[in-house]
Structure formats: C-alpha cells, structure tokens
C-alpha cells in the first residue's frame, strides 16, 4: 500500500524530506509548519503530493501541521538573521573555551526555541560545558552539530577551481557517491590538487558525466589494445570517450603515424577486451 507525501526543505538545507500532507493540498513554494523530532519548524514545499512505498522511508513519517502565517514567516526571517549575527560571538566563546573546533554557522528554528551551531573538527569534541554556556548566554535550547567538509563549504559558499560557485552550494553532488574511479573513467590526472574541491574532497562534478563515460568504456577498446581499421592493424593510444573517437598508432619501418577513427570504423575482439 502506497502513502501520500510531500517533499520539503528546511531553510538552509539542500536535502528534500518527506512529510505527510495530512489530507491537505499544498503547492510548490508554500511555507508550512511541520513536526520534527526537535520541535516544530517552517519548511518550504518543493515537491507536491505524490505516492511512495513506505519501505523507502528511512525515518518515521512526520506531519505537515498547517500553512505558516505571514507573521510566522516574518518572525522566521528575523530570527534567522538574529542567529546569524551571533556567529562572531559564538566563535569567540569557542576559542575562549579552548575547543578544537571551527564554528561554521549559527541557525535557529522559526520561533527561536532552538539554536543550532554547525562546526567542523578533526576529532571528537566534548562540548557539553560549552553548550551550557551558550544556553545561558542566548536563553534558548542549544544543539551543536558536527558537519563534514562538503557541508561546511555548502554553508559558507565559495568558488571552485572552475571559477563557478561550488556545486554543493547549488545543491548538486550532495547525494552522489563520488569515487576515484570516476576520475580514472574520465582520463583525468589523479593529482589531488586537480581533482579535489575547496573542501579537500573529490570534486562533486566528477559525478555529472560519469555515466556517459562508463557507458562508453563498455563499448570502446582499451588503450594499448590492437584493433583493425581500414588502414590496417594498429594500437590504440587514446580514447575520446565523449565523442566516441579512437586514436590508433601504426608503426612500420619508415614511419610511426597516429590516425583518429570513429568508434564504428574499427574492429576488435570485444570478448577478449572484457
């Protein structure tokens, strides 16, 4: 039996979460109040009602309570700016506490009943005493959340080596499993400086065209293998995977020539290749 859900995102989030619309109709772009394990909050509807199998849910389904009022939306905006303004002070308090952590951002839920401090650290941090100081200072419930390098860059923003905004800041690459094999598939230099983003992790964009490269690799000859062309037998020295072109080197007593052929113009033993 399938159930009806809507997809929604939190203010600073890129992940889409499923909520039960509770029999109500919500449109894309609507701001609504939802239940969460940490209290109620405002989210934005990004996917209208659709049916899913309950087995795909990783957590118990929470409900959309109602549409947010204009006053609640304005309050959420004010509290978000208020929380962000505390960033320098929170960083100063962390430094004074001697904690090995880098404070990335400060967020609050819509009614400021909870403030979330996002930080990075190379190891585990005992922040219990620090959390108590923050709660006394800001008079609200405090949650300290350790995040990874990619999430930190997403929160802070930045420019990638391509000169464009980092993929994670635009919401891309967050759910992709990115591996060194993707760089190998694309014939990229495996120099860490060439294939790493500002977060120090593998570039999110490696996942964009990987499927096309992986499919091409299934049908094209391996570099170093022998193939037959209209000009005779030669060795593959380079594959242009996206354009499906193969560079073949011919050697005889008088010359060493390289010619490019369309994938369909060459013949080779595919079974032997695999």
Q: What is the per-residue pLDDT across 18-40, written as a single tens digit (0 to 9) for each? A: 999 988 999 999 999 999 988 89
> Does the structure show a pLDDT above 80 at 7?
yes
- DSSP assignment letter at 38: T
* Strand-strand pairing, 114-120 and 141-146: parallel
> Does the structure show a pLDDT above 80 at 135?
yes
- Sorting pLDDT into bands at 50, 70 and 90, what band is 218? confident
In sequence order, the β-bridge partners of residue 117 are: 106, 144
- DSSP assignment letter at 202: B
> Does the structure show a pLDDT above 80 at 273?
no
Which CATH number applies to 76-147? 3.30.300.20
For range 66-80, the mean pLDDT: 95
**Gap between the Cα atoms of 121 and 99, Å rounded:** 9
What are φ and ψ of residue 195, in 5° steps?
-115, 15
Nearest to 234 by CA among 246, 216, 217: 246
- Sorting pLDDT into bands at 50, 70 and 90, what band is 162? confident
- Sorting pLDDT into bands at 50, 70 and 90, what band is 119? very high
Residues of the chain above pLDDT 90, percent? 42
Q: Given this model, what pLDDT does residue 255 score? A: 64
**Average model confidence (pLDDT) for the chain?**
87
Q: Given this model, what pLDDT does residue 272 score? A: 53
For range 179-208, the mean pLDDT: 86
Q: Given this model, what pLDDT does residue 271 score? A: 60
> Does the structure show a pLDDT above 70 at 173?
no
In sequence order, the β-bridge partners of residue 227 are: 234
**Gap between the Cα atoms of 211 and 47, Å rounded:** 26
Q: How many CB atoms lie within 10 A of CB 164?
A: 11
For 84, the token pair is 């962000």
For range 118-136, the mean pLDDT: 92
- Sorting pLDDT into bands at 50, 70 and 90, what band is 254? low
Nearest to 197 by CA among 175, 169, 217: 169
pLDDT in tens, 39-65: 899 999 999 998 888 888 878 889 999
pTM greater than 0.85 (yes/no): no
Q: How many CB atoms lie within 10 A of CB 3?
A: 12
Given this structure, which CATH class describes domain 220-273? mainly beta
Residue ranges covered by each domain of the chain: 3-68, 76-147, 151-208, 220-273
Averaging pLDDT over each range in 86-95, 147-156, 159-168, which range is the top one?
86-95
């Amino acid at each position: 039996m399938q159930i009806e859900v809507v997809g929604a995102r939190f203010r600073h989030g890129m992940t889409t979460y499923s909520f039960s619309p509770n029999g109500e109709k919500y449109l894309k772009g609507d701001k609504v109040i939802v239940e969460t394990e940490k209290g109620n909050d405002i989210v934005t509807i990004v996917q209208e009602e659709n049916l899913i199998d309950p087995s795909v849910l990783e957590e118990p389904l929470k409900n959309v309570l109602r549409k947010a009022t204009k006053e609640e939306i304005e309050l959420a905006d004010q509290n978000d700016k208020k929380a962000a303004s505390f960033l320098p002070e929170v960083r100063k308090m962390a430094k004074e506490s001697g904690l090995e952590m880098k404070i990335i951002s400060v967020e609050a839920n819509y009614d400021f009943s909870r403030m979330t401090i996002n930080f990075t650290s190379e190891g585990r941090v005992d922040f219990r005493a620090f959390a108590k100081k923050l709660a006394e200072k800001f008079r609200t419930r405090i949650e300290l959340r350790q995040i990874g390098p990619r999430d930190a860059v997403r929160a802070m923003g930045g420019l990638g080596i391509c000169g464009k905004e980092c993929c994670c800041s635009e919401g891309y690459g967050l759910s992709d499993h990115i591996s060194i094999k993707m760089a190998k598939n694309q014939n990229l230099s495996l120099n860490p400086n060439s294939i790493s983003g500002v977060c120090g992790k593998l570039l999110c964009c490696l996942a964009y065209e990987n499927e096309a490269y992986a499919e091409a690799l299934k049908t094209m000859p391996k570099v170093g293998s022998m193939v037959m062309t209209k000009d005779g037998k030669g060795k593959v020295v380079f594959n242009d995977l996206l354009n499906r072109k193969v560079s073949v080197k011919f050697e005889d007593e008088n010359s060493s020539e390289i010619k490019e052929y369309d994938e369909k113009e060459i013949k080779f033993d595919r079974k032997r290749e695999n």
